[in-house]
Structure 1
Amino acid sequence: MPTHKADESTELDALNSIASRMNGFLYRCRNDDQYTMLVISGRCRELTGYGQDELRQNRAVSYASLIHPEDSAAVDEAISQAVVAGGNWDVDYRIHHRDGSVRWVNENGGPVLDQEGKLQYLEGVVTDIRRRKEVESGRHEQIAAVSRLSNSIITESNQILIVLKALRMLSLNASIEAARAGEHGRGFAVVAKEVNRLADQTGLFAGNISNLMAELEQELKRRI
Structure 2
Amino acid sequence: MREITRKADVEPRNELGIMHSITGKMRGFLYRQLNDTNYTVVYATPSIETLTGYPASDFVNNAVRTLPSLTEAEDETYVVGVVQKALARREPWTIDYRIRPAGGEAIWVREVGGGVFSETGELQFLEGLVIEVQGERAAQLASQSRLASMTAATNPILADVDEILKTIRTLSILSFNARVEAARAGEAGRGFTVVASEMKRLADDTDKLAKQISARVKVARQVLAGSVTT
TM-score computed with the length of structure 2 as normaliser: 0.69
Distance 1:18 1:222, change over 3 A: closer
Identity %: 27
CA offset at residue 127 of structure 1? 1.3
The answer to whether the aligner puts 1:80 opposite 2:64 as a matched pair is: no
Residue 17 of structure 2 is matched in structure 1 by: 13
What SS is found at the alignment partner of 1:104? strand
Match among 141, 144, 147 for residue 143 of structure 1:
147
Question: Which residue in the other structure is 2:133 paired with?
Answer: 129
Check the 8 A contact 1:20/1:43 in 2, yes or no: yes
Q: Assess, with a 3 A threshold, how the Cα gap between structure 1 residues 115 and 98 changes in structure 2: closer, same or farther.
A: same
| Aligned-partner Cα distance in 2 for 1:114–1:161 | 65
2:8 counterpart residue number: none
- SS of residue matched to 1:60: coil
Match of 1:3 in 2: none
2:114–2:127 contact (8 Å) kept in structure 1? yes
> For residue 208 of structure 2, what is the aligned residue in structure 1?
205
CA RMSD of aligned residues (A): 4.0
Amino acid at match of 2:111: E
Amino acid at match of 1:49: G
Partner of 1:4: none
**Equivalent position of 1:92 in the other structure:** 96
Alignment CA distance shift 1:19-1:42 (3 Å): farther
Deviation at 1:210, TM superposition (A): 6.0
**Cα pair 2:20 2:47 within 8 Å, conserved:** no
Larger mean Cα displacement after TM superposition, 104-113 or 120-129? 104-113
Call closer, same or farther: CA 1:157–1:40 in 2, change over 3 Å: same
The range that moved more, 80-89 or 63-72, is 80-89
Cα deviation, 1:33-59, whole Å, max 9, x if unaligned, reads 332222111432332232212222333
Alignment of 1:6-85 (within 5 A): 10-85=14-89
Residue 8 of structure 1: how far off its partner (Å): 9.3
Which sits farther off after the overlay, 208-217 or 40-49? 208-217
Verify the 8 A CA contact 2:168 2:207 in the aligned structure 1.
Answer: no
CA–CA distance in structure 2, aligned partners of residues 132 and 197 of structure 1: 53
> 2 CA distance for matches of 1:74 and 1:138?
21
What's the offset of the Cα at 1:30?
Answer: 1.8
- Single out whichever of 167-176 and 153-162 deviates more from structure 2: 167-176
**Aligned match of 1:196:** 199
1:153 to 130, 154, 157: 157
Q: Distance in 1 between matches of 2:171 and 2:91?
A: 67
Gaps of 5+ in 2: 1-10
CA distance in 1 between partners of 2:193 and 2:86 (Å): 77
Across the two proteins, how many residue pairs are aligned to each other?
216
Residues 213/154 of structure 1: CA separation in 2 closer, same or farther (3 Å cut): farther
